[in-house]
Structure 1
Amino acid sequence: DEDPQSLQFTSENTKGPIKKTLKKIEERHASHELDKQTVVDHNSIRSFDIGKDKLSSVSKQERDKLESAWKEYLSSLNPETKKKDSFYSIKDVVKKNGSGIGSTGLKRYYILIEGQEGEVHHDDIILEAKEARSPIPAYFFPYDEQFWEDNKHQGRRVAHTQHAMHHQADPYLGYFRMDGHDFYVRERSPFSKDLREKNLDDYKKFTQTIKTMAQISAKIHARADADIENGIMDYHSEKAILKAIGSDQKLFRHQLGLWSRYYKETVENDFELFKEWLIEQDYFKS
């Protein structure tokens, strides 16, 4: 019932693992990501620290393709927050390997851009370009021609969604296409941090976390139509969600519980089959 634009979750009004994570973030400096991912040589030139945090170099051909696609990225930026083109000049590019769960196998790049000129490298900014594909659930819903027509560019779809759900969207949020693959771009924020599994070690902490995450999810869905007059979305998302749930919320919770247990069993069975396949392939011996 609260205004989704003013409702915030901070270390003051949260509990348990989320409170602990937010406190850690508050201690960080704006240069955290730069210090973690880059080095400065004796000529005061900053570049990515190859080999660190699963970073690897790109070929000249790949770099050239990215430079060409960068024009589309610049044209996709929000004109109200966009700076002059030189601000986004590419200084270095690397591949990011072996991270993510749902994004396993997708292309991902870290891109170091110039930023504000004249401030001796502390202005450098790290962007992440991540390949975007059609959302898997879309294949399991009834076919909607309008959805596929509106979302021919999957990078645009992701950027469009994030603009809708964030009160203050990332000013670097944009998209481009390269080699037939769609990408969306965002800043590698120094104030991003995962919850640690070791902090979810008892039932109370786990339920505290689930409750807060559910409230955050509700906030961003409510936020998604807060500026409905601007045309980002033309319907109220929370009303659409409630309509899909139906009038019997108890039955919905029961259905969700059944689905969750089935999903858990499927994942465990898939993992056992995967291990059997590895043994058959003599993977462990090689």
Structure 2
Amino acid sequence: MIGELVTGFARSYLAELRAIAAGGDDAIGSITLDNADGVLRRVLQQARLNTRVDLLAAQTTIDNYERRFSLGDGVHEIDDATREKVCAAFADYLHSLPDPTTRMRPVAAGIKDVVLRKGVGIGSAGLPSYNLLLEGHTQALENDVVIYMKQAQVPAVARYVDDERVRSYFRHQGHRTAESQRALQAHADPWLGFTELDGVGQLVAEVSPYAADLDWADVNEPEELAGVLADLGRAVARMHSVADDESSHDLVDYSTEEAVVAVVDADPEAFVGYLVDFGHRYGIRAREDHQLFVDLFRNGRLPGI
């Protein structure tokens, strides 16, 4: 079953990549309500129901006619010195936004509140993350904006990258992460940018009120799972296709889809077989690593725990 699912993903990826290579950048579309179905369509429908007002109601309160963050459950106040540093980092971040003509009016850059958040994300677990509440386009309370500023991590693959041109291209991990997201997303968050805090690279972006996650517990039937993976295969192909010479950066100076198709089409079944084999080997390794973690944890062999 796993082999069949990975095969479906790989073939969907190749079919989409070939179509993009043949049609050029005009063929790079988006997965929308018009072309999605099944589980993925339900996720998009759920995202449509979300509102900015709901997000603000969940994370903030109104006191004396002004909106402030709610505290508790991993959300903490900060002292004046920390707030000053975060606000200074925010001011520097504004210069990282790609197109000054698309920036919000000055009222949108006004900071109304700042809090510390802990326990956010997976790769960022344990690292400090700050949420900033900004004035919206107007002074009406329902269009305030929530953005986050969190420490960017070093990717696992970085240890295998020995190209000095790649290493020296980015100022820090915050710059790398922001630039990578812009390259991989057809419509990146307009608030996406980077800054430094205490000399450490930070990623800055909006806490989107329209985000919706795929709940894998809802994917129960093999046909549904196969459909989701086929959609993901197409999505990955589109991500790879926008992250090349047509991106805002000049690090990748060739057409990714044309390069991949030229190599893989020499033996597409070998490519599919490689991904299936990788999937099985990765699964085995993940189970072995999990068992090692459980053994170490239960025997008190993890330092600091």
Query: Residue 242 and residue 260 in structure 1: after superposition, are their counterparts in 2 closer, same or farther (change >3 A)?
Result: same
What corresponds to 2:41 in structure 1? 19
Amino acid at match of 1:209: V
How far apart are 1:211 and its partner, in Å? 0.6
Structure 1 position 132 matched with structure 2 position 143? no
Separation of aligned partners in 2, 1:159 and 1:227 = 17
2:296 alignment partner, one of 260, 270, 277: 277
Farther off after superposition, 180-189 or 253-262: 253-262
**Quick check: 2:183–2:247 contact (8 Å CA) kept in 1?**
no
**Quick check: 2:69–2:113 contact (8 Å CA) kept in 1?**
yes
Higher helix share: 2
Structure 1 position 205 matched with structure 2 position 224? yes
Query: Residue 279 and residue 161 in structure 1: after superposition, are their counterparts in 2 closer, same or farther (change >3 A)?
Result: closer
**Quick check: 1:115–1:124 contact (8 Å CA) kept in 2?**
yes
Query: Residue 277 and residue 101 in structure 1: after superposition, are their counterparts in 2 closer, same or farther (change >3 A)?
Result: same
Report matched runs for 1:1-286 at 5 Å: 1=19, 7-41=29-63, 43-52=64-73, 54-77=74-97, 78-119=99-140, 121-141=141-161, 143-225=162-244, 227=246, 231=250, 233-242=252-261, 245=264, 247-281=266-300
How far apart are 1:225 and its partner, in Å? 4.0
Separation of aligned partners in 2, 1:140 and 1:111 = 35
SS of aligned partner of 2:235: helix
Separation of aligned partners in 2, 1:96 and 1:244 = 45
Separation of aligned partners in 1, 2:268 and 2:147 = 42
SS of aligned partner of 1:150: coil
Instruction: Tell me the percent identity.
Output: 29
Farther off after superposition, 209-218 or 229-238: 229-238
How far apart are 1:175 and its partner, in Å? 0.7
**Quick check: 2:53–2:143 contact (8 Å CA) kept in 1?**
no
CA RMSD of aligned residues (A): 2.6
What corresponds to 2:6 in structure 1? none
SS of aligned partner of 1:99: coil
Query: Residue 29 and residue 71 in structure 1: after superposition, are their counterparts in 2 closer, same or farther (change >3 A)?
Result: closer
Under a length normalisation based on structure 1, what TM-score does the superposition of the two structures give? 0.87
Separation of aligned partners in 2, 1:19 and 1:232 = 34
SS of aligned partner of 2:102: coil
**Quick check: 2:172–2:200 contact (8 Å CA) kept in 1?**
no
SS of aligned partner of 2:143: coil
**Cα deviation per residue 1:172-223 (whole Å; 9 max; x = unaligned)?**
1111011121111111111111001221112111111111111112122223
How far apart are 1:150 and its partner, in Å? 0.1
Amino acid at match of 1:45: E
**Cα deviation per residue 1:56-113 (whole Å; 9 max; x = unaligned)?**
3333332221112122101111212113444212211222322322333333222111
Farther off after superposition, 224-233 or 170-179: 224-233
More contact order relative to length (CA 8 Å, sep ≥ 6): 2
How far apart are 1:226 and its partner, in Å? 7.3
SS of aligned partner of 1:111: strand
Amino acid at match of 2:86: L
How far apart are 1:232 and its partner, in Å? 7.4
Q: Which runs of 5 or more structure 1 residues have no equivalent in the other structure?
A: none
**Quick check: 2:52–2:142 contact (8 Å CA) kept in 1?**
no
How far apart are 1:233 and its partner, in Å? 4.7
**Quick check: 1:164–1:232 contact (8 Å CA) kept in 2?**
no
Query: Residue 271 and residue 4 in structure 1: after superposition, are their counterparts in 2 closer, same or farther (change >3 A)?
Result: farther
Amino acid at match of 2:42: K
How far apart are 1:129 and its partner, in Å? 1.5
Farther off after superposition, 25-34 or 1-10: 1-10
Separation of aligned partners in 2, 1:274 and 1:224 = 36
Which ranges of 4 or more aligned residues in structure 1 deviate by more than 6 Å?
Answer: none
